[in-house]
Structure 1
Protein backbone atom coordinates (compact mmCIF):
# COMPACT_ATOMS: atom_id res chain seq x y z
CA UNK A 1 0.00 0.00 0.00
CA UNK A 2 1.85 3.06 -1.24
CA UNK A 3 0.61 6.37 0.08
CA UNK A 4 1.62 9.86 -0.87
CA UNK A 5 3.15 11.96 1.94
CA UNK A 6 -0.06 14.03 2.12
CA UNK A 7 -2.22 10.89 2.39
CA UNK A 8 0.11 9.42 5.01
CA UNK A 9 -0.19 12.43 7.32
CA UNK A 10 -3.95 12.58 6.86
CA UNK A 11 -4.73 8.92 7.54
CA UNK A 12 -2.37 7.75 10.28
CA UNK A 13 -2.57 8.02 14.02
CA UNK A 14 0.71 7.86 15.97
CA UNK A 15 1.37 5.31 18.73
CA UNK A 16 4.13 4.95 21.31
CA UNK A 17 6.71 2.19 21.02
CA UNK A 18 7.22 0.32 24.31
CA UNK A 19 9.46 2.30 26.68
CA UNK A 20 13.00 0.96 26.99
CA UNK A 21 12.91 -0.94 23.68
CA UNK A 22 14.72 -0.46 20.41
CA UNK A 23 12.39 -2.13 17.91
CA UNK A 24 13.43 -3.75 14.64
CA UNK A 25 11.62 -2.49 11.55
CA UNK A 26 11.32 -5.17 8.87
CA UNK A 27 10.49 -5.10 5.17
CA UNK A 28 7.57 -7.51 5.69
CA UNK A 29 5.23 -8.77 8.43
CA UNK A 30 7.48 -11.26 10.20
CA UNK A 31 10.86 -12.07 11.67
CA UNK A 32 11.76 -13.91 8.47
CA UNK A 33 11.94 -10.53 6.69
CA UNK A 34 15.07 -8.36 6.66
CA UNK A 35 15.64 -5.58 9.22
CA UNK A 36 15.62 -2.24 7.41
CA UNK A 37 16.19 -0.01 10.45
CA UNK A 38 15.84 0.09 14.22
CA UNK A 39 13.52 2.46 16.09
CA UNK A 40 15.15 4.33 18.95
CA UNK A 41 13.76 4.22 22.49
CA UNK A 42 10.82 6.58 22.91
CA UNK A 43 9.77 6.49 19.25
CA UNK A 44 6.24 7.14 18.06
CA UNK A 45 5.05 5.41 14.91
CA UNK A 46 2.12 5.89 12.53
CA UNK A 47 0.03 2.85 11.68
CA UNK A 48 -1.27 3.02 8.10
CA UNK A 49 -2.61 -0.53 8.05
CA UNK A 50 -2.14 -3.86 9.85
CA UNK A 51 -1.65 -7.42 8.62
CA UNK A 52 -1.14 -10.87 10.12
CA UNK A 53 2.38 -12.29 10.19
CA UNK A 54 4.64 -14.27 12.50
CA UNK A 55 3.62 -14.37 16.16
CA UNK A 56 5.78 -12.29 18.51
CA UNK A 57 5.79 -11.79 22.26
CA UNK A 58 6.64 -8.34 23.59
CA UNK A 59 5.77 -5.96 26.42
CA UNK A 60 2.17 -5.66 25.16
CA UNK A 61 1.51 -9.39 24.93
CA UNK A 62 1.68 -11.99 22.20
CA UNK A 63 0.37 -11.05 18.78
CA UNK A 64 0.57 -12.02 15.12
CA UNK A 65 -0.45 -8.49 14.07
CA UNK A 66 2.16 -6.42 12.26
CA UNK A 67 1.86 -2.65 11.88
CA UNK A 68 2.74 -0.96 8.57
CA UNK A 69 4.57 2.22 9.64
CA UNK A 70 5.87 3.29 6.23
CA UNK A 71 5.93 1.97 2.69
CA UNK A 72 7.38 -1.55 3.02
CA UNK A 73 8.18 -1.17 6.75
CA UNK A 74 6.57 -3.24 9.52
CA UNK A 75 6.90 -3.64 13.29
CA UNK A 76 5.32 -6.23 15.55
CA UNK A 77 2.21 -4.89 17.28
CA UNK A 78 3.45 -6.55 20.50
CA UNK A 79 5.89 -3.61 20.82
CA UNK A 80 3.44 -0.79 20.01
CA UNK A 81 1.01 0.63 22.59
CA UNK A 82 -2.28 0.73 20.70
CA UNK A 83 -4.52 0.11 23.71
CA UNK A 84 -5.97 -2.98 22.03
CA UNK A 85 -5.13 -6.65 21.53
CA UNK A 86 -6.80 -6.50 18.11
CA UNK A 87 -6.70 -4.44 14.97
CA UNK A 88 -6.80 -0.64 15.35
CA UNK A 89 -6.36 0.17 11.66
CA UNK A 90 -7.56 -1.20 8.34
CA UNK A 91 -6.07 -4.44 7.07
CA UNK A 92 -3.27 -3.93 4.54
CA UNK A 93 -4.44 -4.71 1.04
Structure 2
Protein backbone atom coordinates (compact mmCIF):
# COMPACT_ATOMS: atom_id res chain seq x y z
CA UNK A 1 0.00 0.00 0.00
CA UNK A 2 1.26 3.48 -0.88
CA UNK A 3 1.76 5.79 2.07
CA UNK A 4 -0.82 8.56 2.18
CA UNK A 5 -3.15 6.78 -0.24
CA UNK A 6 -6.79 6.82 0.67
CA UNK A 7 -8.60 3.50 0.86
CA UNK A 8 -12.00 5.20 0.47
CA UNK A 9 -13.16 6.08 -3.03
CA UNK A 10 -14.93 9.42 -3.32
CA UNK A 11 -17.24 9.93 -6.27
CA UNK A 12 -16.52 13.20 -8.03
CA UNK A 13 -19.54 15.38 -8.69
CA UNK A 14 -19.64 16.71 -12.23
CA UNK A 15 -21.16 20.05 -13.20
CA UNK A 16 -23.26 20.40 -16.33
CA UNK A 17 -24.35 23.55 -18.20
CA UNK A 18 -27.98 24.64 -18.32
CA UNK A 19 -29.34 25.20 -21.85
CA UNK A 20 -28.20 28.51 -23.38
CA UNK A 21 -30.42 31.51 -22.71
CA UNK A 22 -32.56 29.62 -20.18
CA UNK A 23 -33.49 30.78 -16.68
CA UNK A 24 -34.34 27.39 -15.21
CA UNK A 25 -36.89 26.76 -12.47
CA UNK A 26 -35.64 24.56 -9.65
CA UNK A 27 -38.46 22.54 -8.10
CA UNK A 28 -38.91 20.87 -4.72
CA UNK A 29 -39.50 17.47 -6.36
CA UNK A 30 -39.16 15.64 -9.69
CA UNK A 31 -42.07 17.16 -11.56
CA UNK A 32 -43.84 20.28 -12.75
CA UNK A 33 -46.49 19.97 -10.02
CA UNK A 34 -43.85 20.62 -7.34
CA UNK A 35 -43.27 24.19 -6.15
CA UNK A 36 -40.49 26.37 -7.58
CA UNK A 37 -37.85 26.87 -4.87
CA UNK A 38 -35.57 29.14 -6.92
CA UNK A 39 -34.62 30.05 -10.48
CA UNK A 40 -31.17 29.53 -11.98
CA UNK A 41 -29.69 32.41 -13.91
CA UNK A 42 -28.70 32.23 -17.59
CA UNK A 43 -25.32 30.51 -17.94
CA UNK A 44 -25.65 28.46 -14.76
CA UNK A 45 -23.98 25.09 -14.28
CA UNK A 46 -25.42 22.45 -11.96
CA UNK A 47 -24.10 19.40 -10.13
CA UNK A 48 -26.08 16.18 -10.56
CA UNK A 49 -26.07 14.16 -7.35
CA UNK A 50 -28.62 11.61 -8.54
CA UNK A 51 -31.43 11.25 -11.07
CA UNK A 52 -35.02 10.02 -10.83
CA UNK A 53 -38.05 9.61 -13.08
CA UNK A 54 -40.83 12.18 -12.80
CA UNK A 55 -43.07 14.34 -14.98
CA UNK A 56 -42.28 14.07 -18.70
CA UNK A 57 -41.07 17.43 -20.03
CA UNK A 58 -40.28 18.68 -23.53
CA UNK A 59 -37.37 21.08 -23.29
CA UNK A 60 -34.30 22.44 -25.03
CA UNK A 61 -32.61 19.03 -25.30
CA UNK A 62 -35.67 16.92 -26.19
CA UNK A 63 -38.37 15.11 -24.22
CA UNK A 64 -37.65 13.09 -21.08
CA UNK A 65 -39.03 12.09 -17.69
CA UNK A 66 -35.57 12.24 -16.06
CA UNK A 67 -35.13 14.80 -13.28
CA UNK A 68 -31.75 15.79 -11.85
CA UNK A 69 -31.25 16.29 -8.12
CA UNK A 70 -28.96 19.33 -7.80
CA UNK A 71 -29.19 19.72 -4.01
CA UNK A 72 -31.36 18.84 -1.04
CA UNK A 73 -34.98 19.20 -2.20
CA UNK A 74 -33.89 20.72 -5.53
CA UNK A 75 -34.72 19.18 -8.91
CA UNK A 76 -34.47 20.32 -12.54
CA UNK A 77 -35.67 18.62 -15.70
CA UNK A 78 -32.88 16.85 -17.55
CA UNK A 79 -34.24 18.30 -20.81
CA UNK A 80 -32.66 21.65 -19.89
CA UNK A 81 -29.25 20.33 -18.80
CA UNK A 82 -26.52 19.40 -21.31
CA UNK A 83 -25.35 16.03 -20.04
CA UNK A 84 -24.36 14.62 -23.43
CA UNK A 85 -26.77 11.71 -22.99
CA UNK A 86 -30.48 10.95 -23.43
CA UNK A 87 -30.27 8.58 -20.48
CA UNK A 88 -29.04 8.53 -16.92
CA UNK A 89 -25.57 9.96 -16.22
CA UNK A 90 -25.73 9.58 -12.42
CA UNK A 91 -27.12 7.02 -10.00
CA UNK A 92 -30.82 6.81 -9.21
CA UNK A 93 -32.03 8.85 -6.25
CA UNK A 94 -32.91 6.98 -3.04
Same fold (TM over 0.5): yes
Which structure has more strand as a fraction of its residues?
Answer: 1
- The answer to whether the aligner puts 1:24 opposite 2:34 as a matched pair is no
TM-score (structure 2 length as normaliser) = 0.87
Higher-Rg structure is 2
Runs of 4+ more than 4 Å apart: none
Residue ranges of structure 1 left out of the alignment (5+ in a row):
1-9
Alignment of 1:1-93 (within 5 A): 11-93=12-94
Distance 1:11 1:65 in 2: 21
- The RMSD of aligned alpha carbons is 1.2
Number of paired residues?
Answer: 85
Residue ranges of structure 2 left out of the alignment (5+ in a row):
1-10
